[in-house]
Amino acid sequence: MHEPDARKTWRTSGKADGKFGLSLDDVVYSYYGNRGNSKLESKLNGSMKDKAPEKVRADLIHWARDGASKEQYESKIQGEVQQYCSICHGVIPGLPSFNSYEELHEVAKTDRGITVDSLTRVSHIHLFGISFIFFFVGLIFSLAVGVPKWLKELSIALPFAFLIIDVFSWWLTKWYPAAAWLTIIGGIGYSLASTFMLFTCLYQMWILSRNDKKYMINAWTDD
């Protein structure tokens, strides 16, 4: 059962509730967890739903609900896990290993969402990785012509502000599920701001540059 990297929100969080598209429940289940089910059951009914036949998924869910006994694991569950799960889990870095009973038993417990260790790792990757992208897009956008100085400053600052809100909201949602709204607001906010900068830059580089007009201004100081 292969699960992409946690920060591919649409492909992971977007399937957490088993339905297409990103919803508030997806965010809550990903960070806070689905406390009514085990993590194994939540994944099998969510992002991993298409990775194993229905019968195998039912066997694993019933095993988790019945207490995840070692005897049943050795007699039946182990073979199904090796056939459908271990080809990714235990091989691909970043995915939890399911090569032993103890490892699988951990995810058969109540789903409490992403672990603090994983959340720390993903937060660093997301925060610093996307910040670099925003930095270079913002640098190019700062050279755009015909954009008021105040709008430039606001457009460059907003993606970073919303990015901080986004990552901070993950930690809040880990303990307070109502904070999941901040994750959606942060994601939409930096997406819109960065899209505005990107399309402005592309328009001026690919279309506006074809009119042969020379702009003799300092794009960093002139409005």
User: Where is the domain boundary, 87, 107, 127?
Assistant: 107
The answer to whether residue 222 sits within a structural domain is no
Q: Which of 156, 158, 141 is nearest to 199 (CA)?
A: 141
The answer to whether residue 165 sits within a structural domain is yes
The answer to whether residue 29 sits within a structural domain is yes
Q: Which residues pair with 110 in a beta bridge?
A: 38
What's 97's DSSP letter? P
The answer to whether residue 206 sits within a structural domain is yes
The answer to whether residue 2 sits within a structural domain is no
pLDDT tens, position by position, 146-186: 888 899 999 999 999 999 999 999 999 999 999 999 999 99
60/131 same-domain check: no
pLDDT tens, position by position, 107-131: 888 778 888 998 999 999 999 999 9
**Full-prediction pTM beyond 0.75?**
no
How far CA 194 is from CA of 19, 141, 163, 164, 188, in Å, comes to 28, 10, 11, 14, 10
The answer to whether residue 180 sits within a structural domain is yes
Provide the domain limits for residue 173. Answer: 116-211
64/142 same-domain check: no
Say how far apart CA 62 and CA 106 lie, in whole Å: 15
In this prediction, residue 21 carries a pLDDT of 56
In this prediction, residue 20 carries a pLDDT of 53
155/81 same-domain check: no
pLDDT tens, position by position, 190-200: 999 999 999 99
User: Where is the domain boundary, 84, 107, 130?
Assistant: 107
Q: Based on the structure, what is the number of domains in the chain?
A: 2
